[in-house]
Structure 1
Amino acid sequence: MGKIRTWGAIALAAVCVACTSQPTDDQTPEPSAAQPGPAGAVPDGLEDYYGQPVEWRGCEDFATSPEEETAVGADGLECAHLRVPLDYDDPEGEEIRLGVLRRPAEDPGTRIGSLLVNPGGPGAGGVPTAAALAPEIADTELGRRFDLVGFDPRGLGTSEPALQCWTTEERDAYRVDQVADASPEAVARNDADQRAYAEACEQRNGAEFLASLGTTTVARDLDVLRSALGDEGLTYLGYSYGTRLGSTYAALFPDNVRALVLDGALDPDADPVEQRVDQQAGFQLAFEAFADWCAEQSPCVLGSDPDQAVEVFRELVDPLADQPAAAGERLLSYPDAITGTIQSLYAQDFWPVLNQGLMQLSVGDGSTLLLLADVYNGRSPTDGSYSTMMDGFTAVRCVDDPPITDDEVLTELDRRAREAAPFLDDGGEPGPLRDACAFWPVPPNEAPPAPDAERLPTTLVVSVTGDPATPYEAGVELADALGGRLLTYEGNQHGVVLQGSDCVDEIATDYLVDLDAPAEDVTC
């Protein structure tokens, strides 16, 4: 529930951008190898990786679910695998491969370079996100001047090997039986579940591979990709967790940055406890905005008085803790009802679906809420398979940050989270619910150094006033830390660049194309 999602991954899965994307060209590229790199600085011992040829071909085999096939396989898109070392301290050792997709610039004569995009998560894939964004930039300045490039971080999506901790059957079973309270018995069972998950991750992937999945290593992969594509400097658009990847890159490779747009920011210096509480408060504000909107609809499952919305919502979902609701051939559990609700609060476009799902639940049908929870968990509605997203979300966090294991700290965190988000409070006593990171088989990596703002070009940080997942103030803090400009968007959604705001997109485009950052902080 603390997972941070991004627009690219949500839109593709929830509203099937893949089903409506239009081809950007009428020709599928023939396989070809290009070697525009190495470009820019090349670390000693990594010359072979930084200068490797990129063998582009069609993307038909790069869809990891039936829902992605139309968008990822669209004409005009090209795909490849990029070689990187498993361990950068042993570049002569084992290699792994990253899946990469690009939409070539429409006007090669005025092409600036590559615009690399990361959708966040951590755990979301850049290949389907770039495919979903490709129609959005068609016939625009960005589409004419940049190759749009998305990559699946190591272990995720089309990258090889692919991370898997639980099978489909194991994750389905966990979602039905997942702990729904913080009683002592539930805490003990939760610890057992989380320990079993961590052990499965180690057994099925190996400790060395798990240790390589952190953001610092992915930032180094990003620099290999930049060079192999022939770009002297990185031009980057990162959403949500992708802002953490971007700021980590800026700390490690400040002289290799051309332009950074960081949308839906994570504050890299935020205390993890405060960050979780702030996120819960953000979702509460989003729920209240949903309740205000719903009160004007007919019908509204929460009623016409927004002040009563939390109470009505709890009356709908609380019984699921004892008796899951029918959802076709499956069951909607209490945790999945909460997850489906959270999923819908990421963007106002999903509010009608949430209203519909809660209306159905009021008559005993959990189908729509379960579908929303499936989107959040990366479960295909077509074949029931899971993407690598949830395993990646856990594995990256566990390597990036020290776990919270102290019972008193966890209990206080639970208490404060309930206070911050009453609509998520089941009324029980707070307790020390640990996640899998408390039992992770490899220690967290050392944190990267803080970015040196004096060595960076001007960056652009975008923050939404009503962002439910990454609070607005985090964007303020990140812009300050990077010495960049802050673009404020007044709205209720998670991320905004290339999502329909002409004001935001004009500012972002001027910055990415001409490096023309606003003279001061601006608001759309």
Structure 2
Amino acid sequence: MRRSIKIISSAIAGLIAATGLTGTAPAAAADKLGGYYGQRLTWTSCGKGFEAFECTKLKVPLDYTNPSGKQIKITMIRLPATGKKIGSIVLNFGGPGGSGVDGLILNKSAVSASVRARFDVVSFDPRGVGRSSPVRCLSPLDLDAFHSADRTPDSKAELKQLKGWAKRFAKGCETHSGKQLLKHVGTGEAARDMDVMRAALGDRRLTYFGWSYGTYLGARYADLFPMRIRAMVLDGAEDPNQTGEEFVRAQVAGFQVARESFLRDCFKAKDCPFKKQTLTAARKRLDALLSRADRAPLRNTHDGRQVTETVVRTAVDAALYSKNNWPVLRQALTAAFKGDGTLMLRIADGYNGRLPNGLYTNMLEAHRAISCVDHPESACPYWPVRGTRFTKKVRAKGSPPIVVVGTTRDPATPYQLARRLAAQLSNGVLLTNDADGHLAYAGGASCLERQVDHYLITTRAPRPGACSAAQT
């Protein structure tokens, strides 16, 4: 299961009701970046129906080692501050591959009213994503088939088919996107884009909030530009010192914890579909459902697609991202046990970025492209360009306090990853959210969220343990 994005819950809920570059770039290249850092943004209306928002485009070099070469544009969106403005706060909702433009539109209240009063709330589509030189690989019909393909092969024929999809996906990306773009969609260059963005926004130092993969992007920025941070919150943290395989193993364990938490909660609900309310019996029934879908797809009254084992697995895991999704998962399981996989398919569609018209966002394609550049040691054997292994500890020496938030039963970014990131950072502060689901901050009024808001506005870091369990 890939790294998560904050807008997954929004999709499923619909079913229920001016300085130069520092870091690793050569000095000669940095000297040529003045035109990028000196640019002024022109904000205009984002269009009919989106009057509350303003949009613009940021110019950046495709290759930071060759600033005079090809140029690309990063699409940005903002909600202007409602009160006395401090500056801008830049948000990344996760991914990799998630659209920050769509994320802000779907999560207008992603930060609290008190934060909105003091900051222009800004988000963006990172390079390769959405409206920013998007990576494209497969047709919508091919993506339908790809999302149904068996990910747990039981025979040589199924293994051959899985390898065939990996080759086809990689070849499609090369054909439709080109090696030049694919080589330069990694998180390192996205972090450099954020520093150009900071300067173009007129902020001497960056105020940033990243969720899930957004913590990885934020950590990379912090390591490159520690002295250019004003305040940074990383919620649902990844460990930048992990390889791709290590992250997947941690996530598998995290989803197992989340499934058991869901089952225990399910036993308390009147509509729980498990007749024998024990963990052992429920696990066996879930396994039997997956085996059944593997042998013969469940029926689907929505369209002609097949609800395979892969679709069911995707739907179950996607619904575990937020406790708010658990009621719809109970409904989907009740129907699936009777052979109807329609609701499972709709949940999986939301996770996979499939739109009602049958088209797809490029979330999955961008995710694969970014991951294969960042983690070439991962499962990218046929990828057309060679990535740069970017696995290392992040120190961000000289930065102000950076707040790292971890949720104890987070399926997608398990709590121990937040602990590791906070420990790596020279000035990391860990806040713990003892709860189920992915991510802690949702713009609400919990004690933890009030601590985060106070830090963002004043830059005074919260004390670990400042919120008791009764206050969260």
From 278, 283, 306, the equivalent of 2:255 is 283
1:100 is matched with which residue?
76
2:397 is matched with which residue?
454
Aligned equivalents of 1:334, 1:448: Cα separation in 2: 33
Structure 1 position 447, deviation (Å)? 2.3
Structure 1 stretch displaced more, 248-257 or 188-197? 188-197
Q: Does 1:127 align with 2:101?
A: yes
1:232 is matched with which residue?
204
Q: Does 1:14 align with 2:1?
A: no
1:305 is matched with which residue?
278
Conserved in 2, the CA contact under 8 Å of 1:486 and 1:522?
no
Q: Does 1:385 align with 2:359?
A: yes
SS in 2 for 1:232: coil
Conserved in 2, the CA contact under 8 Å of 1:40 and 1:233?
no
Aligned equivalents of 2:395, 2:420: Cα separation in 1: 15
SS in 1 for 2:422: helix
After superposition, the C-alpha distances for 1:113-151 in whole angstroms (9 at most, x for unaligned) are: 11000011111011122223323546x220110000000
From 248, 266, 280, the equivalent of 1:294 is 266
> Which letter does structure 1 place at the counterpart of 2:439?
G
Structure 1 position 182, deviation (Å)? 4.4
Q: Does 1:326 align with 2:299?
A: yes
SS in 2 for 1:255: helix
Q: Does 1:518 align with 2:454?
A: no
Q: Does 1:478 align with 2:454?
A: no
Aligned equivalents of 1:245, 1:179: Cα separation in 2: 28
> Which letter does structure 1 place at the counterpart of 2:385?
V
Q: Does 1:209 align with 2:207?
A: no
> Which letter does structure 2 place at the counterpart of 1:261?
V
Distance change in 2, residues 1:297/1:450 (3 Å): closer
Conserved in 2, the CA contact under 8 Å of 1:40 and 1:232?
no
Alignment of 1:422-437 (within 5 A): 435=379, 437=380
Structure 1 position 52, deviation (Å)? 1.2
1:316 is matched with which residue?
289
1:44 is matched with which residue?
31
From 183, 188, 195, the equivalent of 2:160 is 188
Aligned equivalents of 1:452, 1:272: Cα separation in 2: 20
From 118, 141, 145, the equivalent of 2:118 is 145
Alignment of 1:332-371 (within 5 A): 332-371=307-346
SS in 1 for 2:31: coil
Structure 1 stretch displaced more, 330-339 or 128-137? 128-137
SS in 1 for 2:238: coil
Distance change in 2, residues 1:343/1:5 (3 Å): same
1:80 is matched with which residue?
56
Aligned equivalents of 1:201, 1:182: Cα separation in 2: 28
1:23 is matched with which residue?
none
Structure 1 position 47, deviation (Å)? 1.3
> Which letter does structure 2 place at the counterpart of 1:462?
V
Q: Does 1:469 align with 2:412?
A: yes
2:385 is matched with which residue?
442
SS in 1 for 2:77: strand
Distance change in 2, residues 1:451/1:137 (3 Å): closer
Conserved in 1, the CA contact under 8 Å of 2:20 and 2:37?
no
Structure 1 position 58, deviation (Å)? 1.2
> Which letter does structure 2 place at the counterpart of 1:302?
F
Conserved in 2, the CA contact under 8 Å of 1:285 and 1:466?
yes
Aligned equivalents of 1:476, 1:453: Cα separation in 2: 16
Conserved in 2, the CA contact under 8 Å of 1:243 and 1:266?
yes
Q: Does 1:509 align with 2:453?
A: yes
Aligned equivalents of 2:406, 2:137: Cα separation in 1: 34
Structure 1 position 520, deviation (Å)? 3.8
Aligned equivalents of 2:228, 2:95: Cα separation in 1: 24
SS in 2 for 1:465: strand
SS in 2 for 1:213: coil
Distance change in 2, residues 1:194/1:448 (3 Å): closer
Distance change in 2, residues 1:467/1:57 (3 Å): same
Q: Does 1:90 align with 2:66?
A: yes
SS in 2 for 1:494: coil
SS in 2 for 1:156: coil
Structure 1 position 333, deviation (Å)? 1.1
Aligned equivalents of 2:314, 2:174: Cα separation in 1: 26
Conserved in 2, the CA contact under 8 Å of 1:301 and 1:355?
yes
Conserved in 2, the CA contact under 8 Å of 1:295 and 1:302?
yes
SS in 2 for 1:506: helix
Tell me the C-alpha RMSD between the 2 structures.
2.0
Identity %: 36
Conserved in 2, the CA contact under 8 Å of 1:179 and 1:189?
no
Aligned equivalents of 2:454, 2:151: Cα separation in 1: 49
Distance change in 2, residues 1:520/1:313 (3 Å): closer
Structure 1 position 501, deviation (Å)? 4.8
Q: Give the TM-score, by structure 2 length.
A: 0.92
Question: Aligned residue pairs: how many?
Answer: 457
> Which letter does structure 1 place at the counterpart of 2:210?
G
SS in 2 for 1:327: coil
Structure 1 position 106, deviation (Å)? 0.8
1:394 is matched with which residue?
368
Structure 1 stretch displaced more, 324-333 or 172-181? 172-181
SS in 2 for 1:134: coil
Q: Give the TM-score, by structure 1 length.
A: 0.83
